[in-house]
Amino acid sequence: MRIASFALIGILYLPALAAEFITIGTGGVTGTYYPTGGAICNLVNQYTKTTQLRCSVEATNGSVYNINSIKNNELDFGLVQSDVVYQAANGIGTFKNKKVKKLRSVMAIYPELLTLVTRRDANINSLADLKGKRINIGNLGSGQESSTNLLFRESNIDKATLKFASSLKASEMPDALRDNKIDGYFYMVGHPTENIIDASNSVDIKLVSITGSNIYKLLQKYPYYTRSSIPAGMYKGNPEETKTYGAKAVLVTNSDVSGKAVYTLVKAILDNFETFKQLHPAYSHITKKSLLDGLSAPQHKGAKKYFKEKGLL
């Protein structure tokens, strides 16, 4: 640990007279956002005595909720899908005519993939098989709701053809699948995730590949998405690779949040990067350089300062 080096932050930024408190908005407790927020706060709080910065984490409804809360100064930071960040920064999609001008990126942490989890006995083998099925689209204010609606729109899938479209929270989806209340659910998430592990431990699940000509066109139209796959054997009963696409999980903030707070948070992660990478399997392949890939909004000045000092920008 480089506690001594953190004393330099007091020189780089005028020291606060009292401790500064920051909160990171995440998602449901069984997803990947919540433990990611916790991992970041744990690193930040190791240096509280010298930085006077204390971090806490909050479970939320997800990406759209986090951006709106940051806009309204109810959260200082939030974890958000890069596609949702892009929409908010440009006033399109879910944020049509509601551009969030003060939205700032901090870093893009790990890839997250749009995942279709189904009961194997529902016999869903492709998007075409969703007709007449009970599918959870995503809770209001979540990234998966936004991403799933876009997928349906670009794939010419009318939600009216489903038996019903539900809006359960991420933490509720595995139990609903197990109890046969839904046939499947969409989830934009980093892998592996406890959510799908829980589902696979209680019911025979099938991960359905999201492919086809419409998906190819979607990826061409929305370049912030990239083609990817869930490795074979990652989840019980799914020995084959699952093809899909995804975005990045981006830590965002407001331009009004202090440069000291953002710099200190970034420094805590990057100065302990190998420790951070061991805190969740979703981080296993990230690099310091990859943290700059997929930023869909301008980067905060405090984050830029650290990355420039380390020669990464």
**The domain boundary residue, chosen from 210, 226, 247:** 247
Helices and strands counted in the chain (H then E):
13, 10
At residue 201, the pLDDT reads 96
- Indicate if 77 and 7 belong to the same structural domain: yes
pTM, two decimal places: 0.84
Residue 55 belongs to what H/E stretch? strand 53-58
Rounded distance between C-alpha atoms, residue 222 and residue 141, angstroms: 21
Which H or E run contains 85? helix 82-90
pLDDT of 163 reads 98
Determine how many CB atoms are found less than 10 A away from the CB of residue 18: 6
Same domain, yes or no: 134 and 236: yes
Q: Is the domain of 100 the same as that of 21?
A: yes
Three-state secondary structure readout of 158-183: CHHHCCEEECCCHHHHHHHHHCCCCC
Instruction: Write out the E strands in 159-307.
Output: 164-166, 184-189, 205-208, 226-230, 242-254
Instruction: Give residue 55's region: left, alpha or beta (phi > 0; psi -120 to 50).
Output: beta
Owning domain of residue 262: 3-111+249-309
Kindly list the distances between the CA atom of residue 236 and the CA atoms of 89, 106, 182, 312, in Å, as whole numbers in the listed order: 39, 35, 19, 39
Q: How many domains does the chain have?
A: 2
213 contact partners, CB below 8 Å, separation of at least 6 = none
Q: What is the DSSP letter of 52?
A: -
Residues 24 and 69 both lie in one domain: yes
Q: Please give the DSSP secondary-structure letter assigned to residue 131.
A: T
pLDDT at 17: 52
Per the structure block, which two tokens stand in for 149?
A: 């609606």
For residue 198, count CB atoms less than 10 angstroms from its CB and return exposed for 0-12, middle for 13-18, buried for 19 or more: middle
Please tell me the distance from the alpha carbon of residue 294 to that of residue 291, in angstroms, as a whole number.
8
Q: Are residues 63 and 178 in the same domain?
A: no
CA distances to 39, 205, 242, 261 from 136, rounded to whole Å, are 29, 15, 19, 38
Task: State the pairing for strand pair 134-136/184-189.
Answer: parallel
Q: Which tokens belong to 157?
A: 């899938």
- pLDDT recorded at residue 300: 98
Q: Does one domain contain both 143 and 212?
A: yes
Please confirm whether the linkage preceding 298 is cis (ω < 30° from 0).
no
Q: pLDDT tens for the chain, 313 residues: list them.
A: 444 455 445 445 444 457 899 999 999 898 899 999 999 999 999 999 999 999 999 999 999 999 999 999 999 999 999 999 999 999 998 899 999 999 999 999 999 999 999 999 999 999 999 999 999 999 987 888 989 999 999 999 999 999 999 999 999 999 999 999 999 999 999 999 999 999 999 999 999 999 999 999 999 998 888 899 999 999 999 999 999 999 999 999 999 999 999 999 999 999 999 999 999 999 988 999 999 998 989 999 999 999 999 999 9
Where residue 146 sits, what CATH number does that domain have? 3.40.190.10
- Is the distance from CB of 117 to CB of 191 less than 8 angstroms? no
Residue 126 DSSP symbol: S
Same domain, yes or no, for 100 and 160?
no
Examine the fold and report which residue of 193, 228, 247 is the final residue of a domain before the chain moves on. Answer: 247
Q: Is there a single domain that holds both residue 16 and residue 133?
A: no
pLDDT value for 16: 44
Final residue of a structural domain among 231, 247, 263:
247
Residues 286 and 201 placed together within one structural domain of the fold: no
Q: Could you tell me the CA-to-CA distances from 206 to 161, 167, 189, 236 in Å, in that order?
A: 21, 20, 16, 9
DSSP letter for 299, please.
B
The reply to whether 75 and 223 lie within a common domain is no
> What local confidence, expressed as pLDDT, does residue 24 receive?
98
**CB contact at 8 A, 206 and 119:** yes
Q: Do residues 86 and 296 lie in contact, with contact meaning Cβ atoms separated by under 8 Å?
A: yes
- 143 and 218, same domain (yes or no): yes
Same domain, 254 and 217: no
